[in-house]
């Protein structure tokens, strides 16, 4: 099979028939063998009934329905588990992603040899309250992830080699960082394609302002996991040691200062009455706690089921 198209959806009953017809038209015109996997993320409207009707009309359509709303990441993860196509393409169900982009995305994976191609909605039909925070978020993601050639990490229109989606796990709200997850899993050939962004035709957006806060927190999470997921002591242990040593040096300075004062006959104040003493004590306590956090993290990491699981690119068998 040439293409698998994964479509997460939530209360998109109006747009689904048009989307299915559009995808079918494009794939038939280019003679692609294809499947469409629609994941209903706990819709409260008639979206699932429409998916059932569409699957009867288009045999290429398969569907998954969640009992409740789990989020886009969960929907994508479940879709990735069952796709069979050589190239996997994701797109939103609200018709803001154009299926006309499918042939070029397919070509960039198959002919250009990319692992992942991410869409860039260079011209957006969104309000400033959405576009300005999005630009800041993408700037921060480029800096922290090291993927400098992407302008729109959160674009729902992406294409992947099948191998890529089978070797990443999308959870929480990590769908924003799939390129980062792919790079971490050993798939660095990531490119970008300018895609058409269409104004929303039906319904309303399902994402509020809280997504920007959640996105920043998820960025910190993915950055930490990428760098220290299998070696937490390198992070917590280093900071804890610095805190403890700083507190130890301040304590030593206080004791030497007190001994010198007694030597010259100036009793001065008690060490316990000096603010530096409590600063040093706090630093040492925090240092010990961070070191213990790193130690516990190492114990958990060493006993994790995938502790020694690594992505193998090729084998030679005689």
Query: Do 56 and 127 belong to one domain?
Result: yes
CA distance 253 to 246: 11
pLDDT at residue 53, rounded to an integer: 93
Quote the crossing angle between the two packed helices 128-145 and 210-228, to the nearest 10°: 10
CB atoms within 10 A of CB 247: 20
Write the CATH number for 221. 3.90.550.10
Evaluate whether residue 315 is within a structural domain.
no
Distance CA(46)–CA(42), nearest Å, equals: 11
Cβ pair 99, 22 in contact under 8 A:
yes
Q: How buried is residue 241: exposed, middle or buried, by Cβ count under 10 Å (0-12/13-18/19+)?
A: middle
Identify whether residues 172 and 276 lie together within a single domain. Answer: no
Q: Which residues of the chain have pLDDT under 50?
A: 308, 310, 316
Secondary structure of residue 68 in the 3-state scheme = coil
| Cα–Cα nearest to 109, from 86, 84, 79, 77 | 86
Condensed to tens digits (0 to 9), the pLDDT of residues 106-161 reads 999 999 999 999 999 887 666 666 667 778 888 888 887 888 889 888 889 999 99
Q: Give the pLDDT score at 308.
A: 47
Do 222 and 262 belong together in one domain?
no
Domain boundary among 175, 205, 228: 228
pLDDT the model gives residue 203: 61
Domain that holds residue 131: 3-228
Structure tokens at 157: 């229109």
Count structural domains, the chain: 2
- Among 212, 228, 244, give the residue marking a domain's end: 228
Same structural domain, 72 and 213? yes
Q: 317 lies in a domain?
A: no
Last residue of a domain, one of 195, 228, 261: 228
d(CA 27, CA 240): 56
Residues 105 and 208 in one domain: yes
Angle separating helix axes 16-29 and 102-110, nearest 10 degrees: 50
The H-or-E segment that residue 63 falls in is strand 61-65
Q: Within this chain, do residues 112 and 15 fall inside the same structural domain, yes or no?
A: yes
* Angle 49-92-126 from CA coordinates, rounded to 5°: 125
Angstrom distances, CA of residue 42 to CA of 68, 198, 202, 222, 300: 4, 25, 18, 26, 34
Asked if residue 191 and residue 263 are part of one domain, the reply reads no
Tell me the β-bridge partners of 64. 39
- Identify whether residues 288 and 224 lie together within a single domain: no
- Is there a domain that residue 119 lies in? yes
pLDDT for the residue 125: 63
- Span 68-120, pLDDT tens digits: 998 898 999 999 999 999 999 999 998 989 999 999 999 999 999 999 999 99
pTM of the full predicted structure? 0.73
In this prediction, residue 25 carries a pLDDT of 96
139 and 280 inside one domain? no
| Residue 310 located in a structural domain | no
Specify if 309 maps to a domain: no
Whether residue 10 is found in the same domain as residue 69: yes
Domain co-membership, 218 together with 115? yes
Structure tokens at 285: 């306590």
């Amino acid at each position: 099979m040439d293409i698998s198209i994964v479509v997460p959806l939530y209360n998109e009953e109006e747009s689904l028939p048009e989307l299915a017809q559009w995808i079918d038209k494009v794939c038939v015109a280019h003679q692609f063998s294809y499947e469409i996997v629609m994941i209903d993320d706990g819709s409260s409207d008639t979206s699932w009934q429409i998916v059932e009707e569409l699957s009867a009309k288009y045999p290429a359509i398969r569907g998954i329905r969640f009992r409740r709303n789990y989020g886009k990441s969960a929907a994508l993860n479940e879709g990735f588990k069952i796709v069979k196509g050589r190239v996997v393409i994701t797109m939103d169900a609200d018709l803001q992603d154009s299926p006309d982009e499918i042939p070029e995305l397919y070509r960039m994976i198959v002919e250009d040899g990319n692992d992942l191609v991410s869409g860039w909605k260079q011209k957006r039909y969104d309000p400033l309250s959405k576009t300005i925070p999005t630009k800041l978020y993408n700037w921060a993601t480029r800096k922290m992830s090291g993927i400098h050639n992407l302008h729109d990490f959160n674009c729902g229109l992406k294409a992947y080699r099948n191998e890529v989606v089978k070797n990443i796990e999308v959870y929480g709200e990590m769908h924003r960082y799939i390129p980062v997850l792919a790079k971490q899993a050993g798939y660095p050939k990531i490119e970008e394609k300018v895609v058409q962004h269409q104004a929303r035709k039906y319904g309303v957006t399902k994402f509020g302002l809280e997504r920007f806060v959640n996105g920043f927190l998820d960025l910190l999470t993915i950055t930490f996991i990428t760098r220290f997921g299998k070696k937490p002591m390198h992070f917590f242990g280093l900071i804890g040691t610095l805190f403890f040593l700083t507190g130890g040096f301040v304590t030593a300075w206080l004791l030497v200062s007190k001994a010198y004062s007694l030597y010259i006959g100036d009793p001065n104040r008690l060490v316990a009455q000096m603010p530096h003493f409590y600063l040093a004590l706090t630093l040492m306590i925090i240092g010990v706690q961070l070191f213990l956090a790193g130690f516990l993290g190492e114990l958990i990491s060493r006993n994790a089921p995938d502790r020694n699981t690594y992505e193998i690119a090729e084998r030679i068998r005689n």
